[in-house]
Copies of this chain bind each other. A is one copy, B any other.
Amino acid sequence: MATHELSQEQLDSIYTFAVDLGRKAGQLLLESVEKRIGGGEGQLFEEKDSAVDIVTQTDEDVESFIKNAIHSRYPTHKFIGEETYAKGQSRDYLIDEYPTWCIDPLDGTVNFTHIFPMFCVSIAFIVNHRPVIGVIYAPFQDQLFSSCVNRGAWLNEKRRLPLIRNPTIPPMPANAPGKCILSCEWGKDRRDIPDGNMYRKIESFLNLAAETGSRGGKGGMVHGVRSLGSATLDLAYTAMGSFDIWWEGGCWEWDVAAGIAILLEAGGLVTTANPPEDPDTAPIQDVRLGSRLYLAIRPAGPSATESGRQTQERTVREVWKRVRQLEYARPGA
């Protein structure tokens, strides 16, 4: 058991604290948005306050708020935040076996800047390298995704994830990636390098999107391709069962830790994005949190002939056959 140092009672208490913290931090994000929306209470900005300044300030303020709240309540826990990293020089992987909070005060920064509702606060609690508690709160649409190990994953603390469970949680489709929704992101690295990450990503998206059997047998003909601009919410919607497959490279641990906690507790699978030499037989290992390469499959129930896990693993292998290797190194990896 990954959480042998903490009792379930302790975890439950930390979970309650984390949910409350997520809602309060989300409220701060919303207040920052309200200031840019005209027509009422909000203080008028000076022209010199650019949207970028406001967003950076919000990002820092919300991280401080979360950091202080955690430090007051759990002074012995470690804290790793997106802003903390950004200001340091290093991107070493800092998570170890000790109880650690890994948070992103504002995931989906570009969405936030444009007030596209797909932005959120992301809070994970990690013990022994495993994210055991996750809280993701998207305040503009008031959607809270949360989980605690052994307690289930939830939308707004009342609907269990995955959502579709009547009459049963569906297995992954027999011809997956056919009939699947693929969630993927164009990302920030759009350099025009031949065979660089951008082109490898697009080629992979095309393989998964094109009609079955085309592209040299790689055509997967997914049902739909979605890009939200938030890795955290991509994972949340995969846990919800809305997305079947999320394939991504380039994220950092604060982008994915809470989402992975929620997805795993909901019954999903997360492994590496990069295909192994033999995708048909290679072991399907749990993702390394700091690996920057992620392939997530939604929670799945059994089919007539396979367990839920078998339908997920079959899907992993079919995705691996259609995607390219991505190159996202990190210091110390």
Contact = CB atoms under 8 A, between A and B. Distances in A.
B224 A186 contact: yes
A88 interface: no
Interface string A177-190: 00001000010001
A190 B210 contact: yes
Given A114-B241, A159-B39, A190 B164 contact: no
Contact of A240 (B115, B191, B223): B115
A161 to B, nearest CB: 10
A243 B191 contact: no
A312 B228 CA distance: 24
B243 A219 contact: no
A225 interface: yes
Contacts of A215: 192
B227 A225 contact: yes
A191 B215 CA distance: 10
B223 A110 contact: yes
A226 B227 contact: yes
A94 interface: no
Given A37-B163, A166-B38, A116 B226 contact: yes
Q: Size band of the A side of the interface?
A: 35 or more
Contacts of A163: 36-37, 115
A206 interface: yes
B36 A166 contact: yes
B116 A237 contact: yes
A221 B190 contact: yes
A6 interface: no
A249 to B, nearest CB: 16
Contact of A110 (B111, B181, B198): B181
Nearest to A116: B242
Interface in A23-50: 35-39, 42, 44-47
B242 A166 contact: no
Contacts of A228: 226, 228
A127 to B, nearest CB: 29
The listed residue with most B CB atoms (<10 A of its CB), out of A114, A225, A240, is A114
Contact of A39 (B37, B143, B160, B223): B160
Contacts of A240: 115-116
A223 B186 CA distance: 10
Contact of A181 (B114, B164, B191, B192): B114
A47 B211 contact: no
Contacts of A225: 186, 227, 229
A215 B199 CA distance: 12
Contacts of A35: 166
Contact of A202 (B141, B206, B229): B206
A138 B2 CA distance: 40
A215 B38 CA distance: 39
A107 interface: no
A209 interface: yes
14 contacts: A37-B166, A38-B164, A110-B224, A114-B223, A115-B241, A116-B240, A190-B210, A192-B210, A192-B211, A192-B215, A198-B206, A224-B229, A226-B229, A228-B228
